[in-house]
Amino acid sequence: MDDLRDRTRPLDDARVATILGARAAKHWDAVRASITSDCPAVTEQWKHYGGQSSWTLVIKSRKRTVCYLYPDRGRFEIAFVFGNRAVEAAREADWLPPVTLEKIESARPYMEGRGFRVEVRTAGDLTQVRKLVALKMAN
């Protein structure tokens, strides 16, 4: 079994695809492709934050962090950090599912903003992620 917490074994596309499985890997690739097409000068870097943490794919546009992707067996989550303006824009968005707005609202505010995660399981989740990326980058 592949241990995602093993910091001596950095992830690559082939290993991620194996860990995620075909269905989740398809969504993973679609998320990365949409961010690359929607944001300028995208870079990706794998990071391991130590302790019991797992590997995280950090996606940046120029120097600004867009999101963090957390792969797991058969699934993955995307973490966002929204500053005050993005939180306000989320409150005003009529397309945001109530469960996602609740995640944003209940997230503890830090200097960097409010961090929350969204799991991607369906094509509808991909649409929501794309809109969340646009909302974050516009604010």
pLDDT tens-digit series, residues 77-123: 999 999 999 999 999 999 999 999 999 999 999 999 999 999 999 98
57 within some domain: yes
Q: CA–CA separation, 100 vs 104, rounded Å?
A: 6
Number of structural domains, the chain? 1
6 within some domain: no
5 within some domain: no
4 within some domain: no
Write down the pLDDT at residue 2: 61
For 78, the domain range is 13-138
Total-model pTM: 0.93
Write down the pLDDT at residue 138: 97
127 within some domain: yes
Mean predicted lDDT score pLDDT of the chain: 93
Mean pLDDT score, 63-87: 96
7 within some domain: no
Share of the chain above pLDDT 90, in %: 85
8 within some domain: no
1 within some domain: no
pLDDT exceeds 60 at position 1:
no
Query: CATH no. for residue 66?
Result: 3.90.1150
